[in-house]
Amino acid sequence: AVSSGFECLTALGPAGSCFQILLLDVHMHDLNGFEVASRIRKLRSRSLPLTIAVIASDEDDFWEKFKEVGINGVIRKPVLLPELIDELRRVLLQVNKVV
């Protein structure tokens, strides 16, 4: 776990890290989740981790922006295990259909 967008980018590195799934809080104090996802996409164009955005909002108008920066799924706070499992399952099934 990391506590900021910059720490996330540092932990992931430019390529080849072992992270396959990333839970990314959209509201961080240094870089927001959109900026982090966009930078990950630029730095690691071939080895993108599956990314699930964690949001506090009930608004659904984020989805287009999420897709633009490579975010695969969304879960709302507070994160509950059954909902996280459902979203992970949905994202994994969707990705496997594309591959």
8-33 pLDDT, tens digit per residue, is 888 887 665 678 899 999 888 789 88
pLDDT in tens, 59-90: 667 788 888 888 999 999 999 999 999 999 99
Write phi, then psi, for 63 (nearest 5 degrees). -55, -45
Torsion-angle region of residue 70: left (phi > 0), alpha (psi -120 to 50) or beta?
left
Write phi, then psi, for 73 (nearest 5 degrees). -160, 175
Is the pTM higher than 0.75? The answer reads yes
| DSSP reduced 3-state for 98 | helix
98: tokens are 């594309």
**Type of residue found at 13:** G
The correct CATH number of 5-98 out of 3.40.50.300, 3.40.50.2300, 3.30.450.40, 3.30.70.360 is: 3.40.50.2300
